[in-house]
Amino acid sequence: MTKKEFLNSLARDKVDAIQQLLDLLVQAGIGYCVIGGLAVNAYVEPVVSLDLDLVIAAETIQDLRRAAEKIFTVKEFSHSLNLNHPRSELRIQIRTDARYQTFIGRAIRKTILGYEMQVAALEDVLQGKVWAYLDPQRRGSKRQKDLADIFRLVESYPQLKDLLPDAIKSIL
């Protein structure tokens, strides 16, 4: 079983929703990068996640929405555009928070569980996880996962510890 097949089997994915989304982004010429847990997996030993978090160029959000509606169910929220495919349990979240826009220009091509995609730079992945952990509106269980991802990154790249706020450094 390939890495792609493994991930798709976990998501009960009958359509390869990740590849469909990646193809859609390329065909529409939309700049993007992967952030969140799957981006962490690009830099350290992967853990399973059924969430795909991305940021896209802000000016292309409506273009993506129109193109995605042909394949996915699209729901808009205050800080995200969520895409779901009826034949997959994968959860795709396009972040619309302006803080992430600069990540796109620094993204690099990496392979995550068999998929070639643009991934936020290591320092940007860490920054996104720090923002998520420090967000008081976020569920406690999600914040704990964010903290674990921060630990995973710092264990593999000790120099990243210097980039952490004191509130997180004191926990390490």
Q: What is the mean pLDDT of residues 132-158?
A: 96
Question: Is the predicted pLDDT of residue 5 greater than 80, yes or no?
Answer: no
Comparing C-alpha atoms, which of 72, 71, 67, 80 is closest to residue 30?
Answer: 67
Distance CA 82, CA 53 (A): 9
Instruction: Give the pLDDT score at 50.
Output: 86
Mean local confidence (pLDDT), 129-134:
97
CATH of domain 3-121: 3.30.460.40
Confidence of residue 10 (pLDDT cuts 50, 70, 90): low
How many residues are recorded in the chain?
172
Q: What is the pLDDT of residues 67-111, one digit of tens each?
A: 999 999 999 998 899 999 998 998 999 999 999 999 999 999 999
Residue-level pLDDT at 84: 93
Asked whether the beta carbons of 24 and 67 are under 8 A apart, the reply is: yes
- Quote the distance between the C-alpha of residue 70 and its chain's center: 22
The angle subtended at Cα 135 by Cα 134 and Cα 139, nearest 5°, is 110
Mean pLDDT calculated for residue range 148-162: 97
- As a whole number of angstroms, the distance between CA 81 and CA 95 comes to 7
Q: Which of 26, 34, 150, 153 is nearest to 90 (CA)?
A: 34
Residues 6+ apart with CB under 8 A from 13: 7, 85, 87, 88, 89, 90
